[in-house]
Amino acid sequence: MTELQKEIGRRRTFAIISHPDAGKTTLTEKFLLYGGAIQTAGSVKGKATAKHAVSDWMELEKQRGISITSSVMQFEYDGYCINILDTPGHQDFSEDTYRTLMAADSVVMVIDAAKGIEAQTRKLFKVCAMRHIPIFTFINKLDREARDPFELLDQLEKEFGIGTYPVNWPIGCGVSFKGVFDRDKREILSFSEMHRGQDKIKPTPCDITDIEKMDELIGEYQRAELVDQIELLDGASYEFDLEKVRKGELTPVFFGSALTNFGVEPFLENFLKMTTPPLPRLSGDKEISPFDENFSAFAFKIQANMNKNHRDRITFFRICSGKFERGADYFHMQQGKMIRLSQPQQMMAEERQIINEAYAGDIIGVFDPGIYSIGDTVCSPKNKVQFEGIPTFAPEHFSMIEQKDSLKRKQFVKGVEQIAQEGAIQIFHEPNSGMERVIVGVVGVLQFEVLEHRLKNEYNVDVIRNDLPYSYIRWVKNKDVDIKKLNLTSDTKWVQDFKGNNILIFTSEWNINWAIDKNEGLILEDFNRN
């Protein structure tokens, strides 16, 4: 095995997804603790003086206690090099999560044991299923009152159409939570609320038929209940099949409590054994192996002003094949010319470290002078490839944004354009109008709040925002059409993007049908683009 194959083979790149408040960011922090990447975990929700989650680097995230933008973290654990992509749970930021899932080889899905599957989890699962991404399930918060575990498994199977294999099984929940029983190793991991991850919990080997020992560990009542449940699982549940796991057809299920650090380490150890090294990627009809010695990567995220001390713009690339070397020249497919990826760095949220090399599976950030777009491919000039683009979601909410202080026009234009290039917002303008005010389109309304906050804090610009009633958007495909002569309803608006493309925004689908019916030959196109 070559050094290249060895390095790529030990990479594991995964995203963590969940509904808000299911414990995703807490679980991420506990992984980092085990890898020695951080010394103490930050409280995601706490008083103003409390530590904040490492992965939540944006000021607004710390104030609101939610993840707004995806974070990238790399650490070493037990011989593996792990790249974690922590995603926003809130539905208003699902577009950022979708792009991040494009860069992951597998997914950890965190579910609140009391609430079960929630709306945002359903949406994200569909994206994973579309790409056949392996999914590992961590059912969290067993130290609180929870639903019946069979009910949770049944919900997973029925709603997602996926098989489940519980690797361990909870013994009670809430105040009567005693721990978990490992089905394969036939041992009990005893729960202690005082344990916060200082030492590894030592499991107690215990065959389920050893009544005396079981009664001593968990009590007669819970022993009898556990025996019945395990017999039912062993007889009726899905069998473990690693191939099905890797095809996204079977999800291994783990129970635990991220907050108290219970069950996190066994989950991480099992996950690393079951998940795959970096997977091949498609360039047209051709499959690009991660072990191909020629470097290739695609951009899946752009972020300006991650650190107030830097005031720069970083583009995140997922390396798909080969080895990246600092100082080497690579080919930028979209520009059609050679470039050098400058200031290559790896991340621990907003903390950065300049690197000299990286391998397939790794995520690297590079300084971006404004030349990259989401979905761009960079590769070795010896073997040019181009990965498929990442679709842009159609905005569903629109607002008119203008600066309060006309003297800050330059900062306003720079701020709006840079934030739009990150892909979280889309900007339009009324024909023949300048940049004093723009129309902003977003997938979720919380993005408006993020935009206002960032313009004020990163660009020192206060804005006036007026929400607009539109919900639907369409491209005008006909290049030669005179928009002014179209027969449109009074609540249809004509706007342009900053490439001069004509776009119509509507208040209802009825208005879209009116525009098509009353204007012969008009071709409108859905607003999803690469």
* 307 vs 208, higher pLDDT: 208
Average the pLDDT over each of 24-38, 172-186, 368-382 and give the range with the smallest value.
24-38
Which phi and psi angles does 525 have, rounded to 5°?
Answer: -125, 140
Task: For residues 377 and 319, give the distance between their C-alpha atoms in angstroms, rounded to a whole number.
Answer: 10
Contact present, 238 and 250 (Cβ < 8 Å): yes
Q: Are the C-beta atoms of 15 and 131 separated by less than 8 Å?
A: no
Residue 160 CB partners (closer than 8 Å, separation 6+)? 117, 125, 129, 251
Contact in structure between 283 and 386 (CB atoms under 8 Å): yes
pLDDT in the model for residue 95:
64
Structure pTM? 0.77
- Locate 378 and state its tokens: 């960079």
**Rounded CA separation 264/143 (Å):** 13
Q: What's the pLDDT score for residue 63?
A: 44
Can you tell me the distance from the alpha carbon of 87 to that of 12, in angstroms, rounded to the nearest whole number? 17
Of the two residues 521 and 61, the one the predictor is more confident about is 521
Q: State the pLDDT confidence band at 447, using cuts at 50, 70 and 90.
A: confident
- Please report which confidence band the pLDDT of residue 68 belongs to, taking 50, 70 and 90 as the band edges: very low
Domains of the chain in start order, with CATH, are 3-274 (3.40.50.300), 281-379 (2.40.30.10), 397-526 (3.30.70.3280)
Non-local (6+) Cβ contacts of 356 within 8 A are: 325, 326, 344
Q: What pLDDT, on a 0 to 100 scale, did the predictor assign at position 237?
A: 81
For the cut 50, the answer to whether the pLDDT of residue 47 exceeds it is: no
86 contacts 67 by C-beta, under 8 angstroms? yes
Residue 114: alpha-carbon gap to chain centroid:
23
Q: Stretch 498-527: mean pLDDT, rounded?
A: 90
Average pLDDT, the chain: 83
pLDDT in tens, 469-504: 999 999 999 888 888 899 999 999 999 887 788 999
pLDDT tier, 308 (very low <50, low <70, confident <90, very high otherwise): low
- The H or E element containing residue 242 is helix 242-246
User: Which carries the bigger pLDDT value, residue 166 or residue 98?
Assistant: 166
Length of the chain: 530
Per-residue confidence at 311, pLDDT binned at 50, 70, 90?
A: low
Residue type, 392: T
pLDDT of residue 309: 58
